[in-house]
Structure 1
Amino acid sequence: MMRKICFLLILVAFSCTKKDVFNAPNQLIINPIAKCENGFAGEFPCNNYDLLTYISLEEIAGDNTEGNDSWGWVDPVTNNEYALMCTNKGVSFIDITDPANAIIVGFLKTRTENSSWRDVKVYNDVAYIVSEAKNHGVQIFNLNRLRDVTNPPVEFTQDREYVGFGSAHNIVINEESGFAYAVGTQSFSGGPHFMDLTNPFNVVSAGGYQESAYSHDAQVVTYKGPDKDYTDKEILIGSNENEVVIIDVTDKTNPTKISAISYSNIGYTHQGWFTEDFKYFIVGDELDERDKGVNTRTIIFDFTDLDNPILHFEYLGKTAAIDHNGYVKGNLFFQANYTAGVRIIDITNIENKNFTEIGFFDTYPENDNTAFNGAWNVYPYLPSGNIIVSDINRGLFVIRKSKT
């Protein structure tokens, strides 16, 4: 298969030799199929990040496939690492433990119809999948089934379903509390729809919140930050098109709005993520580059006092590409940046209002235009340090920081 022979990236200066290696959790020797040298990994522009593997959309789900969201899962028995790659057709499950020899284990097709929007999250070895496809609800899939596949790829069926709503834009899970939150549903005026995952295959509705209208995306945490008034409370931060809303959802029967904050030159308040100390919240606006003519803009709020959030500063990227999903790991912010690929930003000096881009991998080498092509999502949380990137136009990439 193409990915087993370095995927024919026309790698004049690259090869799959054992010269440059990384150690994975199971002590496999991991070689990049394309090292980042002189600004390129094969055909892909890069800085400080190598390409470990690439799997095309055609391999993942056949012709006429479009990529969208992605997530990761680690098998607790084997420690194998998996990419969950969403497409317009469903979700593919790919064993990327040895990235250059990745295995497409199987595919779970959409519950109703195809859609350009499909999102997946994982809790206790179970995948929960939503889509903007009509009447899709939540597909519930036991990831432990991947371990038993002997003749991949196979077509899976879902284990269970939840139909407390029809379509949804996204789903987020607080793994500490065991509650899931679907956003952009047809319930609660598009506000978050609460679900109890205590019994993972028998999801129970737990209410919702509609006072702040449509919530495009959210993060929900058990709060352990500087505002002692909310220690150990379950806090939802919603990116709600034109503002960021902070809600106490500890009592599912009586969720309470804490505060909200907006900012200038709003295009579309899309998605945000806490720093690990819960002091700052980093937000991406999806349409300001297109509508306001700015370079990639990231908005950073000071959430030291949840009752009184403050705009801290704004960071402008190096291109006019549109930012999409971003996640914090340690002192790094990983930003899926559509046509500019994935940007890796050092946020160590966030208190002094200073971000520094330290690397990137551009999955869309054609250009860095302000357009909806390229990297949709990045997942930086695998124990190996390997990073999953899902691309709308090309498929699945696995990258890793270059070895020095």
Structure 2
Amino acid sequence: MKSFYPLLLLFFIFNLAFSQTPCENGFAGEYPCHGYDLLSNVPVSVLANGLGNPEGSDIWGWVDPLDGKEYAIVAMTNSTAFVDVTDPVNPIFLGRLDTATSTSYWRDVKVYNNHAFIVADNVGNHGMQVFDLTRLRNVGALPITFTADAHYTEFGSAHNIVINESTGYAYIVGTSRNGPFSGGPAFIDISTPTNPVNAGGYPDEGYSHDAQVVTYNGPDTEHAGKEIYIGSNESEVLILDVTDKNNVIKLAEISYSQLGYTHQGWFTDDHRYFILGDETDELSYGFNTRTLVFDLYDLDNPVLSSTYDGPTTAIDHNGYVLGNLFFLANYRAGLRVLDISNIAAPTDAMVEIGHFDTHPESNSTAFNGAWSVYPYLPSGNIIISDIERGLFVIKSNTLSTEDVQPIKSVAFAPNPATYQTKITSNKQAITSVEVYNTLGKRIFSVNNINQKEYVLPVKQFAKGLYLVNINNTFTKKLIVK
């Protein structure tokens, strides 16, 4: 079996090389888009190493503090996959960590102190797997089937894991309703990642499906510096002060009209607003994607500030805030990117400014397509997990078929090109040609040409978009197909 791995990897990388595709006329290849270009796609079958018939679920990212390399951590039904996306056009599948028990459609992962923490729902005594991400630096022959560095089993299944990185506590949500915390959050001290310590839990308000926990730095000065838990609890939003794990204080609960299933939400960066998604209201009431914004100026008395209606009937799933942008995994409608710079307004508080639809078949109301998104990589690249299609790496406004600057005196023919393109200058001689990929890496150069025509061989280039610099002065864009 080991002899098969290098062949699989070579096949995989070769096919990924054809993935970078600019968003032109509303499409990046087969994928509807606006403002976001496809850098690469890693299929589900590759992420699962060709085993079984898996699906994708959660996603998170990790940046190696030693060298700045970027990684996608993709949760699958049968495993957790690790992908080096430092070169987003040519990502490298490094290997996977198999499930601790059986397959699960709900596997979630978060990162703290260079370790991944993984839980799974409805799979018996899965507990929490802990994996040292620094092991990805030198993995040897690819791909690897990894083993966990620690396995915490003081709970069985769980729907999700939340980590407050500033305190070193993990909050396990969606545990067994018949367990010690009645489905409410379990608290675990992970300050030493491979030695998790039980720190109790909170059973008083029942099942908590998802949550965010922050060290509060918002406008309500009464709670400044406190550890605030905001949970999406199926039929309400629950706000807790969990600073003292032995004395949890309930601050508020939030309900709203036309409630389906209170699923997941995220604070704005200033901790003033909370953006909430209800997973089944589109199914139950027949309206378009609905996102609710709550004003938490007073944590003890939250109020509904505004409601955003999306352009499709697709179901909203996981959403995350980065500055003035809200990145929403919208199932069959793919990723939707909303400008929230006007979030205080009662109307038009959120405005869609871009999208990348990973499920081109339809935008209807069903559970397919984009499960989650991670927009926090320093490169600005965005990683998306799609249930059927695996990992997508996209980026805003990087690719185009327009020239960087007009060059009327220089022409390429053909462009797009397959085997070669002739560069022709009707004025000065061509002295040098350099070719760069979209990451700014030079992949080809030639000097001392001194002719008005030069045939550039492109057959050896991967399909995609390139920048061609002529005479260190002009740059044109070339598509290789």
SS at match of 1:400: strand
1:171 corresponding residue in structure 2: 161
Report the CA distance between 1:3 and its aligned residue: 5.5
SS at match of 1:352: coil
Aligned counterparts of 1:140 and 1:277: Cα–Cα separation in 2: 31
Kindly name which structure, 1 or 2, has the bigger radius of gyration based on alpha carbons: 2
Amino acid corresponding to residue 158 of structure 1 in structure 2? A
Amino acid corresponding to residue 271 of structure 2 in structure 1? F
Aligned counterparts of 1:122 and 1:98: Cα–Cα separation in 2: 21
Aligned counterparts of 1:311 and 1:116: Cα–Cα separation in 2: 32
Aligned match of 1:137 in 117, 122, 127?
Answer: 127
Written as runs of structure 1 = structure 2, the 5 A alignment for 1:2-401 is: 4-5=13-14, 7=16, 33-61=20-48, 62=50, 63-132=52-121, 133-186=123-176, 187=179, 188-353=181-346, 354-401=349-396
Report the CA distance between 1:289 and its aligned residue: 0.3
TM-score, with normalisation over the residues of structure 1?
0.93
SS at match of 2:89: helix
Amino acid corresponding to residue 388 of structure 1 in structure 2? I
1:20 corresponding residue in structure 2: none
Aligned counterparts of 1:119 and 1:355: Cα–Cα separation in 2: 28
Aligned counterparts of 1:248 and 1:91: Cα–Cα separation in 2: 32
Report the CA distance between 1:7 and its aligned residue: 4.2
Given that residues 6 and 100 in structure 1 are in contact (C-alpha distance below 8 angstroms), is that contact kept between their aligned partners in structure 2? no
SS at match of 1:291: helix
Aligned counterparts of 1:291 and 1:361: Cα–Cα separation in 2: 26
Residue range with higher mean Cα deviation, 38-47 or 346-355: 346-355
Q: Deviations over 1:218-276 (max 9, x none)?
A: 00000000000000000000000111010000000111100111100000000000000
Aligned residues: 382
Aligned counterparts of 2:13 and 2:396: Cα–Cα separation in 1: 21
Report the CA distance between 1:105 and its aligned residue: 0.7
Identity between Structure 1 and Structure 2 (%): 59
Q: Deviations over 1:190-236 (max 9, x none)?
A: 00100001211110011111111000000000000000000000000
SS at match of 1:226: coil
Report the CA distance between 1:4 and its aligned residue: 4.0
Q: Deviations over 1:323-364 (max 9, x none)?
A: 000000000000000000000000000111321100000000
Aligned counterparts of 2:159 and 2:172: Cα–Cα separation in 1: 8
SS at match of 2:344: helix
Amino acid corresponding to residue 317 of structure 2 in structure 1? H
Report the CA distance between 1:2 and its aligned residue: 5.6
Amino acid corresponding to residue 307 of structure 2 in structure 1? E
Q: Deviations over 1:297-341 (max 9, x none)?
A: 001000000010001111000000000000000000000000000
**Structure 1 segments (4+ residues) deviating >3 Å:** 1-8
SS at match of 1:290: helix
SS at match of 1:344: strand
Given that residues 3 and 53 in structure 1 are in contact (C-alpha distance below 8 angstroms), is that contact kept between their aligned partners in structure 2? no
TM-score, with normalisation over the residues of structure 2?
0.78
SS at match of 1:101: coil
SS at match of 2:276: strand
Aligned counterparts of 1:351 and 1:7: Cα–Cα separation in 2: 42
